[in-house]
């Protein structure tokens, strides 16, 4: 007769074997959820060379086994899909807001929009100095300069962010444009002003499952940008959205936040962008280096003879914006901000009519971190404005 104690262990061993077998069989019978954790998975550790390596080897091997377990993406995706409705995230890079909206967390818990840490006098002055230096450098060559900044998702839809989130009116994107105007340092166009009103009646300016604005949101930004460039003496009136073609909503469309949680297979994707089919049929693109992805430096000839030349350093928000620009310029010189936001080499090589820096609002201060020094007159104006904005902060030179 088998004791109850023996049956207990037999049942436990059997359940363990079945669980492990199921984990290895699952990929054979079901498609794995998409999962992009924005990190490199653990690799097989190097062989042990001595007793001192034993502890590190054990930890590295545990990480390797956990990362490579075949059922891992299924378990992560299923678990995150189950807890999303309760506002719980399974990733340190994703915050679950209200009504299923997802927000990117760069370890600051949406700190840039909460102005945490707060913008200080030294950072503001450095940004203003380099903005003025760049603007003056280009003015001497007959070139216009404009900084264009799309709003972050949580800035535009704070009511869909978590209950604890409060946007600050003192965040850099709200403060620096006014300081630049007051100091006559240059032009920072915060596109929040053009998206704020339509966002009140439509959630479609961003996708709930992706970091970036949609084609609709980008079009509002494009209208603001082209109107500002026209006021600066470059370009023409923006075109209505009806002039462009809406691309079908696709299962493989932008969905970065859902992929970080492994839930893109369990949610309804709604991201939609737009194209200019007629203009895109005339494009001729030449890459300036080995990187032939969208982030690589490139020259796009549009076939629009006689129109201005635009040079734009950009981030990923530009992907939905650039199709609206093709018909307005004869040539676009496009670079990525990761290669530098001030490309004096390409300015002197291509002699554009206008240089635009497109950068998401959280990146404004850092993107204005280098460039030519401004004139002494500009420095004096900037110092006065910074002192008025931050009266209690000293500014060591």
**277-330 tens-digit pLDDT:** 999 999 999 999 999 999 999 999 999 999 999 999 999 999 999 999 999 999
Is the pLDDT at 384 greater than 80, yes or no?
yes
Answer for the pair 269, 258: CB distance below 8 angstroms, yes or no.
yes
Q: Which of 124, 90, 381 is nearest to 260 (CA)?
A: 90
Q: 99 in the Ramachandran plot: left (φ > 0), alpha (ψ -120 to 50) or beta?
A: left
**249-259 tens-digit pLDDT:** 766 678 888 88
Average pLDDT over residues 151-163: 96
pLDDT at 268: 81
Quick one: CA torsion of 330, 333, 337, 338, rounded to 10 degrees? Answer: 150
Domain residue limits, the chain: 4-104, 116-248+272-389
Q: Which of 189, 170, 192 is nearest to 124 (CA)?
A: 170
Radius of gyration of the chain (CA): 26
Is the pLDDT at 52 greater than 80, yes or no?
no
pLDDT at 188: 98
The model's pTM is 0.86
pLDDT at 387: 95
Is the pLDDT at 397 greater than 60, yes or no?
no
**165-177 tens-digit pLDDT:** 999 999 999 999 9
């Amino acid at each position: 007769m088998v004791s109850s104690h023996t049956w207990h262990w037999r049942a436990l061993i059997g359940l363990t074997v079945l669980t492990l077998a199921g984990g290895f069989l699952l990929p054979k019978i079901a498609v794995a959820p998409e999962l992009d954790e924005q990190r490199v998975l653990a690799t097989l550790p190097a062989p042990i060379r001595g007793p001192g390596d034993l502890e590190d080897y054990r930890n590295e091997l545990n990480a390797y086994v956990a990362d490579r377990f075949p059922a891992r993406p299924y378990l992560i995706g299923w678990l995150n899909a189950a807890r999303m409705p309760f506002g719980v995230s399974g990733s340190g890079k994703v915050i679950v807001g209200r009504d299923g909206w997802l927000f990117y967390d760069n370890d600051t818990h949406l700190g840039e929009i909460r102005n945490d840490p707060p913008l200080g006098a030294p950072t503001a002055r450095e940004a203003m100095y380099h903005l003025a230096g760049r603007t003056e450098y280009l003015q001497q060559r007959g070139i216009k300069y404009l900084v264009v900044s799309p709003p972050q998702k949580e800035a535009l839809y704070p009511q869909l962010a978590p209950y604890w989130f409060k946007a600050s009116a003192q965040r850099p994107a709200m403060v620096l444009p006014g300081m630049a105007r007051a100091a006559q340092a240059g032009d920072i166009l915060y596109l929040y002003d053009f998206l704020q009103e339509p966002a009140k009646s439509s959630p479609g300016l961003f996708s709930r499952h992706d970091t970036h604005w949609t084609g609709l949101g980008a079009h509002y930004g494009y209208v603001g940008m082209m109107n500002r460039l026209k006021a600066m003496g470059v370009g023409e009136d923006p075109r209505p959205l009806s002039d462009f073609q809406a691309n079908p909503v696709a299962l493989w469309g932008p969905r970065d936040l859902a992929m970080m949680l492994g839930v893109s297979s369990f949610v309804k994707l709604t991201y939609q962008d737009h194209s200019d089919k007629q203009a895109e049929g005339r494009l001729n693109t030449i890459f300036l280096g080995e990187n032939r992805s969208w982030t690589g430096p490139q020259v796009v000839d549009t076939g629009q003879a006689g129109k201005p030349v635009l040079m734009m350093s950009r981030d990923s928000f530009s992907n939905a914006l650039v199709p609206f620009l093709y018909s307005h310029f004869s040539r676009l010189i496009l670079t990525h901000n990761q290669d530098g936001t001030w490309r004096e080499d390409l300015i002197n090589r291509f002699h554009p009519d206008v240089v635009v820096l497109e950068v998401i609002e959280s990146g404004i201060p850092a993107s204005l971190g280098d460039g030519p020094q401004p004139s002494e007159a500009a420095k004096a104006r900037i110092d006065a404005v910074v002192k008025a904005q931050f009266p209690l902060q000293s500014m060591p030179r």
